[in-house]
Amino acid sequence: MRVTQGMLCGRVIDNLMGSSERLIEAQNRASSGKRITAPSDDITGASKAIRLRSVIANLKQFQRNADLVQSQLTITSSALDSIVSSLRTVRNIAVSSGNAALTEAGKAAAVSQLEQIANEIAASANTQHLGKYILGGSQTTKQPIIPNAGGTPPYIYQGDQAQITIQVAPSTYVTTNVTAYTVLNMESSVLPGVNDVFSTIDALRNQIEAGDVQAISGLISDIDALLSNVTAIRSQVGARLSRLETITTTLGDSETTFKDLLSKTEDADLAQAVIELRTRENAYQAAIATASRLLEISLAEYLR
């Protein structure tokens, strides 16, 4: 087969273009640090990278969910701490008021303090997180505990008893809330035969005003039961927080592991990428030199 000058030129141009494309690919790998920049670079690797990115995205969402739940439960625990502290003060008042020698001034001070404590407990039950009431079940836009305008009981619950759960890991859900309905034993829901917190405080206030020492002493057992109920619920919230800490640590470790797998799948070996870039630069320069030399020969033959 006769090889013409045109055929030689065409082959050189093809080689030059191929060398140029390979140089650009090497430059992209070296500058981006990625071995896979398009599915065509490695179909199997690209598919694996997509799956890994999906897993990492899910882990990040679980971490955001866990952070949200942890934040809400921390605020809930703080509200329960406040209620526990208030009930302990109520118990101290009951104990100190069960004394027939209590003066009228002492009675008035105790009654005033109890009224203030009832307001504080109501405020704690109406705690908000991110603009939503967190102790009212699914009724997050209205106060769970409101005054009953002189009626009985002195405060009423207007939330519901819904338990809200959020997924914080694959197949793992955590309950994000407790309700003031159970915390405060509204309608004697948790402790049959024992009035709710506000009715008990109201009864204690009335007995102190009446000076009925025996009745005051009888209320102490009810206060203890109410205090134990809130303390138990606070312990449940603490257990959820402890569980969340473990889950958050596991999620962080898993994300690190999958990010490492993703890096091994799609990242380029920097040292190898630089060597490849230098090699292809040399090849490209050689292709240019060859093309230049061929063009010089062709032009000389034409002039002859």
Q: How confident is the model at residue 300, as a pLDDT?
A: 47
Give the relative orientation of helices 5-32 and 270-303 as an angle to the nearest 10 degrees. 160
The amino acid that residue 39 corresponds to is: P
Query: DSSP string covering 262-294, please?
Result: HHHHHB--HHHHHHHHHHHHHHHHHHHHHHHHH
Q: Which residue has the higher pLDDT, 107 or 295?
A: 107
- Report how far apart, in Å, the C-alpha atoms of 17 and of each of 7, 14, 20, 221, 263 are: 15, 5, 5, 92, 31
Q: Are the C-beta atoms of residues 59 and 255 closer than 8 Å to each other?
A: yes
Q: Indicate the domain borders of the chain.
A: 53-260
- The two counts, helices (H) then strands (E), for the chain are 7, 6
- Which contacts of 34-37 are long-range, i.e. CB under 8 A and separated by 24 or more positions? 34/266, 34/267, 34/268, 35/266, 35/267, 35/268, 35/269, 36/265, 36/266
Is residue 275 predicted with pLDDT exceeding 80?
no
pLDDT (tens digit per residue) in 89-100: 999 999 998 887
Sign of the alpha-carbon dihedral angle for 220, 226, 229, 231: negative
Q: Is the pLDDT of residue 4 over 70?
A: no
Beta strands in 130-270 (DSSP E): 132-133, 145-147, 155-157, 165-169, 172-175
- Give the pLDDT mean for 117-126: 97
The backbone region for 146, taken as left when phi is positive above 0, alpha when psi lies in -120 to 50, beta otherwise, is beta
CATH topology for the 53-260 domain: f41 fragment of flagellin, N-terminal domain (1.20.1330)
**Mean per-residue pLDDT, 181-202:** 97
Q: b/e per residue, 262-298, with b = 16+ CB within 10 A?
A: beebbbbeeeebeebbeebeebbeebeeebeebeeee
Residue 2: the pLDDT is 54
Rounded to two decimals, what is the model's pTM? 0.77
The first and second tokens of residue 113, run together, are 């303090």
Tell me what pLDDT residue 299 has: 47
If one compares 259 and 111, the residue with the highest pLDDT of the two is 111
Q: Is the pLDDT of residue 142 over 50?
A: yes
Q: What pLDDT, in 10s, does the model give residues 104-114?
A: 898 999 999 99
User: For residue 303, what pLDDT is reported?
Assistant: 44
Question: Binning pLDDT at 50, 70 and 90, where does residue 269 land?
Answer: very low
Classify residue 34 by its DSSP letter: B
Instruction: Measure Cα distances from 132 to 136, 141, 272, 300 in Å.
Output: 9, 6, 55, 87
